[in-house]
Amino acid sequence: MSQQTKRAKEFVSYRQVFPNEANPGGNMFGGRIMEIMDSAAAIAADHFCGHAGAVTASVEALTFRVPVHVGDVLKTVSKVVYTGRTSMVLKIDVHRYEKGLGAGELCTSAHYIFVAMDAERKPTPVPTLEVTTDAEKKAWEIAKAVREQSIKMKPIG
């Protein structure tokens, strides 16, 4: 039986940063940004594999480039960029818009690796990602390298 090939949909969401999500200096907690990214990745992963059941396996190379402040608007973009047999690599970018105005800037980005699970909570195959554009091919190659590095770093035992 041949595996289904599928195009990935880009998911975009917006939200404003509130005081309860920030430290006393008014900077948003990094852990809260990671939570938002994980949730965005889960939506894209579940949509791609066609069922709710993909779980986070790892987060690779998350770097905070600029601070996010109370009142800023966050734009989160998530998309499956690589698939293995049961796993998917998603690219998540978070842009901030200062106080909801002005030009947006990338504040963080990361690759999240998800594994699709069946009803018995066992890994299950995912569709093969359809990759056609040069940008998709580049994202595929980067994500493939990220996944291979993640496998090398997996703890033994």
Tens-place pLDDT, residues 95-144: 999 876 777 999 999 999 999 999 899 999 999 999 999 999 999 999 99
Whole-number pLDDT of residue 151: 79
- E-strand stretches of 42-102: 54-64, 73-83, 87-97
Largest pairwise CA distance in the chain = 57
How far apart CA 100 and CA 17 sit, in angstroms, is: 10
Can you give the pLDDT at residue 29? 97
Give the CATH number of the domain where residue 145 resides: 3.10.129.10
pLDDT reported for residue 51: 73
pLDDT at 11: 97
H or E element, residue 16: strand 11-16
What range does the domain containing 129 cover?
Answer: 5-153
Report helix, strand or coil for 1. Answer: coil
Number of domains the chain is built from = 1
> Where does the pLDDT of residue 2 fall: very low under 50, low under 70, confident under 90, or very high at 90 and above?
very low
Above 90 in pLDDT, residue 156?
no
User: CA nearest 22: which of 74, 63, 59?
Assistant: 74
Amino acid at 22: A
Q: What is the pLDDT of residues 22-66, one digit of tens each?
A: 999 999 999 999 999 999 999 999 999 987 689 999 998 888 999
Residue 100 confidence (pLDDT): 62
Reported pTM: 0.91
* C-alpha 65: how far from chain center: 17
**Burial tier of 105 (Cβ tally within 10 Å: 0-12, 13-18, 19+):** exposed
